[in-house]
Amino acid sequence: DAGVIQSPRHEVTEMGQEVTLRCKPISGHNSLFWYRQTMMRGLELLIYFNNNVPIDDSGMPEDRFSAKMPNASFSTLKIQPSEPRDSAVYFCASSDTGNTIYFGEGSWLTVV
Amino acid sequence: DQQVKQNSPSLSVQEGRISILNCDYTNSMFDYFLWYKKYPAEGPTFLISISSIKDKNEDGRFTVFLNKSAKHLSLHIVPSQPGDSAVYFCAFRSNDYKLSFGAGTTVTVRA
């Protein structure tokens, strides 16, 4: 079974550039999460979608971050403009409203 | 997340011995508790869970204990194996389906 698929796996970009991270959740899952992992803050929830609708975006750090879920099989997390402090691993995860969420392998972002 | 504390950043254990990982929480609304395991360059993978109506759940070498009065969650791995070397995160769910994660404990199993 295909798990959560994220792209790109690695991205190195210059400060000020736009970054778009992509996610395909597990088929049939109706909840999607974007998490960010850093050394300082660990795993933090950025935004949570249910049935393609953003339910909680309180974790989105600032207006430079935006997320969309145009359909049940695709979501994007965009950073514009990117800054060096955005360097982190970004995880997408999905759930079928059960108790367990399943993570992708992450997108490793470096902003120089 | 300040509601979850995973105070031990690392743990080293001899192969064959028991590994014990601990988390404390403050939010009494948490109703489901999970442990995730993470290898380098991979996403966290679900390991074991327990609901708030139980105090113990066992799956092979892994046992999770929940002490609701103390707001304490633990994971026991016995016997520990070299393949268990990874980062372990405790996670807590409240009724809005969000998971709050601990900071992680890096477990190293020595051969």
3-state SS of A24-89? ECCCCCCEEEEEEEECCCEEEEEEEEECCEEEECCCCCCCCEEEEEEECCEEEEEECCCCHHHCEE
Q: What is the pLDDT of residues A36-59, one digit of tens each?
A: 998 888 889 999 999 999 999 999
Query: CB–CB of B7/B24 below 8 Å?
Result: yes
pLDDT over 60 at B1, yes or no: no
Query: Would you call B43 an interface residue with chain A, using a CB distance cutoff of 8 Å?
Result: yes
Residue B46: predicted pLDDT: 94
Tell me the chain B residues in contact with residue A4 when contact means C-beta distances shorter than 8 Å: 43
Using pLDDT thresholds of 50, 70 and 90, give the confidence band for residue A99: confident
pLDDT over 80 at A9, yes or no: yes
Task: Calculate how close chain B gets to A71, using CA atoms only, in Å.
Answer: 20
Q: What is the pLDDT of residues B51-107, one digit of tens each?
A: 999 999 999 999 999 999 999 999 999 999 999 999 999 999 887 677 889 999 999
Residue A61: predicted pLDDT: 87
Asked whether the beta carbons of residue B44 and residue A50 sit closer than 8 angstroms, the reply is no
Asked whether the beta carbons of residue A105 and residue B41 sit closer than 8 angstroms, the reply is yes
Q: CB-CB: which of A97, A99, A105 is closest to B32?
A: A99
Asked whether the beta carbons of residue B43 and residue A43 sit closer than 8 angstroms, the reply is no
Rounded Cα distance between B4 and B26, Å, is: 7
Find where tokens 């359909």 sit.
Answer: A71
Query: Would you call B32 an interface residue with chain A, using a CB distance cutoff of 8 Å?
Result: yes
